[in-house]
Structure 1
Amino acid sequence: MKRTFWNGRHVVLTGGTSGIGLASTELLAEAGARVTVIALDGVDAETLRGRMLPNVVVAPGDVSDADAVTAALDRGRAAHGPIRSVITCAGITKPAYFHELTDGDLRRQMEINYFGTLHTIRGALPDLMSGGRGASVTCVSSAAGLVGVFGYGAYCPSKFAVRGLCEVLRQEYRPHGITVTGVYPPDVDTPMLACEQSLKPAELLALSNGEKPLTALAVARAMLKGTESGRASVVPGASAKLIKWAAGAAPALLNRYVDMTIARARKDAGKQGAGLCIP
């Protein structure tokens, strides 16, 4: 990481109390950034507050609530001044067969994963645009935002939406000196992944087998390095890079592999339990 890039910079980070977000919070604090973490109030938030990391403010808020995000951003500005960078890590998932998902499941994942990203960026945009060149927006999507994945009928669309938003914003705000980076990790060793493992349909488990999950720290480092460089996308891990390549260069081959894997898994597939995973 370039300490000169982050030192003294006010960074707003959603979902910064767990997983990739927490690893990013720790790295940013080490680099001298002034960090406003927006997260649900609870045990994880209290634990982070209790650590008293330098120049880290934990502002409670549900990112799906635009008013709550506005209040959290104002709290961050009061502590750290104008916002120079936004990093959106907040996300939830509920893997299940599509016909088992409720309207509430579909809406909640879109509200958190997509609209939570949208609300945070829109709320910070006046600061980003008025602060001169060098501002940045970084959004965690997923490898499931690069290609459709069995069992992620709610999660994939929300992450595709984040990807589309990043691509539009990169074009619109580059003339204003704002870089926009989309991040597309595969499975990451986080509390959310641990939760969802018991919920995944057998076919999704089969598709997920293979590469060992990345650590949250490795993804956070790659994400922050990509932000410093102003890269349009960061794809950590060999499996995600392969998925991105195959989706663009050999979609028929990718579809054949996926269909064969699903067919094998269905021979002894069993339905899993239902629940919602929040990191």
Structure 2
Amino acid sequence: MFWPVVLLAAAAAVVAFLLLLFYVVSTMVSPKPLSLSGAHVVITGGSSGIGKGIAIECFKKGAFITLLARDENRLLEAKREIEQYSVNDKQVVHIASVDVSKDYANVVKVIKQAQEKLGPVDMLVNCAGTSVNGKFEELDTSKFEQLMAVNYLGTVYPTHAVVPTMKERRMGRIVFVSSQAGQVGLFGYSAYSATKFALRGLAEALQMEVKPYNIYITVAYPPDTDTPGFAEESKTKLLETQLISESSTVCQPDHVARIIVKDAIQGKANSSVGPDGRMLTILACGISPVTSVAEALEVVMSIGVCRLLSLYYLSSFDSIVRRCMLQKEKSQKAD
């Protein structure tokens, strides 16, 4: 009597899965890839690091570029470097010095001027950001305010400025550059991770609003990347954070940029780098949007294995933190 019930339940589960899969396939509409030839791409934080790499990658594909950053000298240097990658003599690199985390009206003004020069914005890449590493109770609360302003509001303001025109044109791409620390909270990143996690919530809520207008939002989760910001942060990085970071390799900005641009063009909801990045994206998927049946099946079939791997990583990270704590206590007693 027992086995027939089990078989019947298993058969019902398979039928339910197939019906669900059929529903997903029948309702899923993959976005049409965006052509960057002649497109206007605005990049915040575009004077260095990943932002500059994205600008170069887009310029290679024939895009017109607007770079927004605070330091005018670095903007001029980036402009000269990017212009070397032009594919036709019509391309233009426009620059504007602005702090995208302050004075929303000024951000709107600068983007409006850029659109008057190069046309409406086809793709916005929010790459402006900063980081601070330190223990929660040792960080001044002003650091939490600073990071929320730059990393979160510095994304809200430019996005708020371009969405109305994108909706009118019924097309567009928007990229939020988060971090792997926006998928998993790590030692020393209580201020930083919170701002990067916030970008995902903003992206998912906004995506529901703009999807009917053929606007797609990509959240990029790059790993440690060899940028000026990363080099500066490494000078004061906590030992625990440093040891945890050594579990993964440091990527080059041009490599990360190519992946982000490729995923944004396709309209993917998430952009990750390498096996570790893909594992984190699968684990943190929740009910985030998917753009293909293959992507949905990958998550469904692999999430269990990824969770097991994550438990190993978490265990090793906890071990690192505990060893460092015991070592410090021993050192203090010796003193």
TM-score by length of 2: 0.75
Matched positions, count: 268
Identity of aligned residues (%): 31
3-state SS, counterpart of residue 120 of structure 2: coil
- From 297, 316, 321, the equivalent of 1:262 is 321
Where does residue 196 of structure 2 map in the other structure?
A: 159
Distance 1:261 1:58, change over 3 A: same
1:171 aligns with 2:208: yes
Q: How far apart are the structure 2 equivalents of 1:262 and 1:237?
A: 25
| CA offsets 1:186-229 (integer angstroms, 9 cap, x no match) | 10111111111121111111110132211111111100110111
Bigger Rg over Cα:
2
Where does residue 9 of structure 1 map in the other structure?
A: 39
1:116 aligns with 2:146: no
- From 194, 209, 229, the equivalent of 2:246 is 209
Whose helix fraction is larger, Structure 1's or Structure 2's?
2
Where does residue 235 of structure 2 map in the other structure?
A: 198
Distance 1:119 1:20, change over 3 A: same
For the Cα contact (< 8 Å) 1:185–1:237, is it kept in 2?
no
Where does residue 176 of structure 2 map in the other structure?
A: 139
Q: Residue type matched to 2:139 in 1?
A: L
Once the two structures are TM-superposed, the CA of residue 4 in structure 1 deviates from its matched residue by 7.2
Structure 2 residue ranges without an equivalent (≥5): 1-32, 84-90, 286-302, 330-335
- From 128, 153, 160, the equivalent of 1:90 is 128
Distance 1:211 1:67, change over 3 A: same
Q: Residue type matched to 1:16 in 2?
A: G
1:74 aligns with 2:112: yes
For the Cα contact (< 8 Å) 2:34–2:265, is it kept in 1?
no
Q: Which has the higher contact order (CA 8 A, sep 6+)?
A: 1
Q: Residue type matched to 1:17 in 2?
A: S
Once the two structures are TM-superposed, the CA of residue 259 in structure 1 deviates from its matched residue by 1.1
Q: Residue type matched to 1:209 in 2?
A: E
Q: How far apart are the structure 2 equivalents of 1:85 and 1:159?
A: 20
Once the two structures are TM-superposed, the CA of residue 72 in structure 1 deviates from its matched residue by 1.6
| CA offsets 1:54-105 (integer angstroms, 9 cap, x no match) | 4110111101111231122022112111111111111000111111211221
3-state SS, counterpart of residue 83 of structure 1: coil
1:30 aligns with 2:68: no
Aligned CA RMSD, in angstroms, stands at 2.1
Q: How far apart are the structure 2 equivalents of 1:110 and 1:237?
A: 28
Structure 1 residue ranges without an equivalent (≥5): 271-279
Distance 1:115 1:243, change over 3 A: same
For the Cα contact (< 8 Å) 2:218–2:264, is it kept in 1?
yes
Aligned pairs (5 A) from 1:182-193: 182-193=219-230
3-state SS, counterpart of residue 190 of structure 2: coil
